[in-house]
Structure 1
Amino acid sequence: MANPSVETVNTSSDKLMLIAGVLLVLAGFVGFFWLGGQEWYVRGAALAVGVIAGVVVGLLSTPGKGFIAFAKDSYKEVRKVVWPTRKEATQTTLVVFGFVFVMAVFLWISDKSIEWVIFSAILGWK
């Protein structure tokens, strides 16, 4: 079954707006390199105007408006998260480091044991 939350661009106006947005961004990049002999701020302004105009046109389309709504909902959900205190974060970090140390020692002992069994006991190497 298809995912119902996937949205496709169906209307020609939305397609044209998205194409125009991409073309404006590309025009900003082309302008940046085309104005190679100009001062850095002129080139930067051409790039910034093209990118900003392209993003604005893209956000005015139906998928762009959906993205804005998604971003707002995501921000609301992040504000609901209960973040750990400094003490909880420190304790959790120490537990993780302790577990990593114990696993490192265990794997080292396992490796040396297997090495001893293969090379000393089975093959008779010293």
Structure 2
Amino acid sequence: MTGLAARFFGSAVVYAVLGMTLGLVMGITKDHAQMPTHAHLLVIGWVSFALFGLFYHQFPLAAEGWLARAHFWLAQVSFAALIVGLFLIFGGQSGADPIAAVSSIGLLVSMILFGAIAWPIVMGQR
């Protein structure tokens, strides 16, 4: 695995470790206030990013070009901001709502970019 596929999959592994660590800390401390942050780390960070990596590995031509790079960077930056926002919100800082809101929009746009990349391939048009 190389290039964009490796970067997506490698970041997914990092997010899995962070999500599992947060889950372990919640279990040890019996404070489950960060459950939504934990879930987002694992479902978006681990599962979705790993799937992006596997897709780009399976279809390496899809990883070429500015659209795929835009997908990667928008997804990474938006996800990192979302995790920070969620951590602050569920830590009692309601002023972080705009961080979560804007980063959620960024993640949606990154998924739309991925759809624009993947749809023609999935539908056999490329």
* Interval of TM-score (by shorter of Structure 1 and Structure 2): 0.3 to 0.5
TM-score normalised by L of structure 2: 0.36
Higher percent of residues as helix: 2
Could you say which structure has the larger radius of gyration? 1
TM-score normalised by L of structure 1: 0.36
